[in-house]
Every structure is written in structure tokens, then in C-alpha cells.
Amino acid sequence: MQTLVVAWLLSFIVVMAIIRSNHWHVHLSSDVIDGVQKFHRGAIPRIGGLGIIAGLGGALGWSAWRGLIGVEMAWLLIAALPAFGAGLAEDVTKRVGVAARLLATMAAAAVGAWGLGAVLPRLGVPGVDALLALWPLLAWAVTLVAVAGVANAVNIIDGFNGLAAATSMLMFMAFGYVAWVLGDSFIVQVCLAMIGALAGFFVWNYPRGLIFLGDGGAYLVGFLLAEVAVLLVVRHPQLSPWFCLLVCAYPITETLFSIYRKRFLRGMSPGVPDGLHLHMLVYRRLVRWAAGHEAARDVTARNSATSPYLWGLASLGIVPAVLFWHDERWLVASALGFVVAYVWVYARLVRFRVPGWLRRRVGDKT
């Protein structure tokens, strides 16, 4: 638990310092309020990832000093730098495209594969697993794409106060629990460090939205989620890859469905932002509808009221993953069930057929 506390304290202090000094760097670090994916007021710093990496690095250093982990800690931090650096550069310059960030994250995954052996040996799919064993280069390629995909997926769901941070904490809790059961102290320490770092950031991000993760924070968190998932599969042959897939089911499903919606339904590039992600529909069709007319003083409340709906949705994948982590049949069934639930919810929101018990008026005390 010391790892968690150290990470929380360092992240809390760094994020507080960023907020307090906002007037010095706001011209570089603030989030530009335009486009279809902005749901806040004011110039908000989007460099909260600095607090995350400070908490992670300090906590893992503390664990290494106590003898709980070894050189693996250094390799993980080195591997994370390209993903974090590319995202942070976008936060500051607003000129680093999605392709460049994905390539940087693939480079980070390559460093992790080289230094930590984080190369997917199997996917839990008959036939595909045989190919991965036969062609090591294919296993490398699949790993690089998977890691970059998860990192980008976390960035995609980072749309409202507390959404990505709390969802990621839940995912790290699931990974950490199973790593603890399997006796993997290194992954346990990484998960504790990330939970603490995210919690230190969360205090300032939710519900008031005083700071955002930004691309640097989102890509860092997503990369580490993916690396932990890969390492669990590599280091523990008894663990099905479907466990990791189910834990990350919400951001992965959101990303794949977004690609399908844009490419095949709307005929546009998947890299072009739109306002039809699930969390945006929840905001417009549930929270914003219930709150009434547009009013600046309600924006932050409506923003923060959106996230709990998605925390609940993410839990539909995380909870069964933890309960059935040792049974691949239940993991596969739960993954398919999550996809069905996601599509059903999305379709209901698009058609605005919302069950009455889901509608919530901001500020309602009942």
C-alpha cells in the first residue's frame, strides 16, 4: 500500500502545482474550446499526464528502493516515454497528428517487447495462436498494433470529467487483483502505482474539471494498461488473453465501433472527430436532455454527471472478468455479452428510447 500512497501524494502535488501556476502556462497548456468534442467552459490545462508520470515514476522508484521490484521498473518507464512524449507534444503544440502518436506508441511497445519480453504469445483464438507461435514477427506486429490500439482507445473515451481516469483505475484494480492471486509482485506494484497516480489526478479532475489528462496522460495510461495486459499473458500461461480483453472491453469496443461507424456508415476517415461517441450520446440524450436549456453554469455539472453512466457500463466487462478470470468459456461469453449490451445501449440512445429510470436531472435530490 505504500506504493499507492506515494503515487497518490506525488500526483496530487504535481497536479495541484500545475493548476495553481496555470496563469504562467495557459497559453501553451490550455484545452482549445472548439469542435464537436468539447463540453467545458474556460481555459483548462490539459497536461495532467505530468502528474500521472510523476506519481508512477516516484512510486516505482520507492518500490525498487524497498527491493520489491528490479530492473523491470526502469524498462517500463523507458518504454512509456515515447507514448507519453508524443501525447504531451500534442497537448502543448496542438500539431501532432493521430498517426504520429500511434507510431510513437508502437515504438514504445517495441521497447517494451525488447526490454520486458512483452510480446503476445497467444490470443486465445484457435489457428491464430498457432500462427503467432510459428511466426515471431507476426506476434511482434500484433503486439505493436494491440498496444497502440488500447492507448488510442483510452484517449477516445477521455471526453468528460473523471471518465477515463476512473475507468482506468477500475481496470488497473482488476489487473492488480489477478496479478496478486498469481503472485506477480512486479505487476501488482505497477497497478498500485497507477491506481494511486490516477487517484491523485482524479481529485482535481472530478467533478469540477480543473485539469484534464490530455493526450499525454491518456496515451500514457492506455499504454501502461496494454503493457500490463500483455505481461500478464506472457508471464502466466494459465491466464487466458480473453481476461485482458474483457477488462478493457469498454474502450476497445468504443474504438472498434467508432471505426465501423465512421468508415462504413458515414463514409468518413476514422481519424476525423465526430460527436457520436457513446459518452457524447449519454451527455446529449440523458444528462443534457434532463437538465433542460443550455446554460453556462450547468455545463460542468452536466459534464460530470455523464461519467457515472459509463463507469457502470465499463463495469459490465470488468466485474465478470474478475469473477471468471480462470474460466475462458465464461470470459468469451461475457465479452460477447458486453458487445451486445453496448450496441443495444447505443441503438436506444440514437433512437432516444431511453428507459425512464436512466434519466437523471442534474441537481435533482431524489
Q: Binding site: residue ranges?
A: 155, 215
Residues in binding site for Mg(2+): 155, 215
What 3-state class would DSSP assign to 45? strand
Residue 26 C-alpha from the chain's centroid: 25
CB 102 within 8 A of CB 222: no
The answer to whether the bond into 355 is cis (omega within 30° of 0) is no
Q: How far apart are CA 296 and CA 290, in angstroms?
A: 15
Q: Alpha helix locations (H) across 158-205?
A: 163-182, 185-205
157 Cβ neighbours under 8 A, 6+ residues apart: 163, 164, 167, 250, 251, 254, 277, 279, 310
Q: How far apart are CA 49 and CA 197, in angstroms?
A: 10
- C-alpha cell, 248: 478493457
20 Cβ neighbours under 8 A, 6+ residues apart: none
Cα distances (angstroms) measured from residue 38 to each of 34, 101, 191, 248, 303: 6, 20, 30, 24, 10
Q: How far apart are CA 149 and CA 3, in angstroms?
A: 28
Half-sphere exposure of 47 (CA within 13 A, CB side): 27
Q: How many residues does the chain have?
A: 366
24 Cβ neighbours under 8 A, 6+ residues apart: none
